[in-house]
Amino acid sequence: SWAKCRPVTCPQERKALVHFSFVIKKNQVLRVALGLVTIGILALFSWLFFKLPDPTIFNANVERIFVETDFTSQTEIRLLEVLAASGSLFESSLQLQSQVIVTLMLLTFALVIVSAGLLAANLSMRQHIKEFKSRALRANAIAIRREDNSVLINDDRFSLTRSNIDTLALFLEARMDADYLTAIDLEALMSGKSPHDCDEAAGVMRIKRLRDALGNQIISELLVKHVPGKGYFLDIPKDQIKLE
């Protein structure tokens, strides 16, 4: 079975919680801003739509004048006909303006929705990139498996010797207790001797072996890749390389 240890101190956990809270607050602010923009657009278009004059009032007044007044001359009757025709033309123009306003409102809503979707996708992509960088450059979780002398760092599995596994386990236990290990302390714990009887060089050698074994595998897994029949290459985009 897996014996899981997370090399995360309380400050790191608090930092992660603060970052998570910041992401939540940022999403809440985004939703509130989107809601305010939507309400503002609705209010603006509603104000424009209801501010348009009613053309039927003009036609009703012309009709009332025609009914209440007894016009006899052709000139007066012709004048009322012109007024009625102008009222009909005004009504048609207002209907066209109403259609334009509704079309612009729908187009604006579509643009707002597309912009919000692109913004959410951008934020999600940035978060995934940050998680990928964090996963590739530092250990977020470590699990030791003593049955086959292996260690799982994030999602990558590495094989170590029994001695290296024991050395790493001691470092993880010390990390969980927020303690530091000197080379003499490490050698004393590994050998079971008193610290006064241990050689510091032996502890340094154990640390060096762990670094070499684990570091070489991490470099091979994440950076220097081997392609059978071709050779070795650096797994990094060409545009990210700088030589100074």
Give residue-wise pLDDT tens across range 5-18.
444 444 444 444 44
63-97 pLDDT, tens digit each: 777 677 766 667 766 776 777 677 667 777 777 77
Residue 67: HSE in the Cβ half-sphere, 13 Å Cα cutoff: 6
Average pLDDT over residues 153-159: 82
Structure tokens at 107: 């187009």
**pLDDT over threshold 70, residue 214:** yes
Query: Quick one: pLDDT band at residue 244, thresholds 50, 70, 90?
Result: low
Confirm if 53 and 94 have CB atoms less than 8 A apart: yes
**Matching residue, tokens 């939540």:** 24
For residue 114, is pLDDT > 60?
yes
Q: What percent of the chain has pLDDT over 70?
A: 71
Confidence of residue 201 (pLDDT cuts 50, 70, 90): very high
* Confidence class for position 102, pLDDT limits 50, 70, 90: confident
Q: Give the pLDDT of residue 1.
A: 37
Residue 71 is given by DSSP the state -
Which residue in 228, 231, 180, 232 sits closest to 207, CA to CA? 180
Cβ-based neighbour number of residue 92 at 10 Å: 11
In this prediction, residue 232 carries a pLDDT of 76
For residue 5, what are the β-bridge partners?
142
How many alpha carbons lie under 13 Å from residue 146 in its C-beta half-sphere? 8
Q: Report d(CA 83, CA 77) in Å as an integer.
A: 10
The whole-number average pLDDT for the span 134-147 is 74
Question: In what helix (H) or strand (E) does residue 142 lie, and over which residues does it extend?
Answer: strand 142-145
Per-residue confidence (pLDDT) for residue 131, from 0 to 100: 65
User: pTM, whole model, 2 decimals?
Assistant: 0.43
C-alpha span between 7 and 138 (Å, rounded): 11
143 class by beta-carbon count within 10 Å (0-12 exposed, 13-18 middle, 19+ buried): middle
Instruction: Please compute the mean of the pLDDT values over residues 230-237 and round it to a whole number.
Output: 78
Distance CA 50, CA 56 (A): 14
Helix-strand-coil split of the chain, %, nearest 5: 70, 10, 20
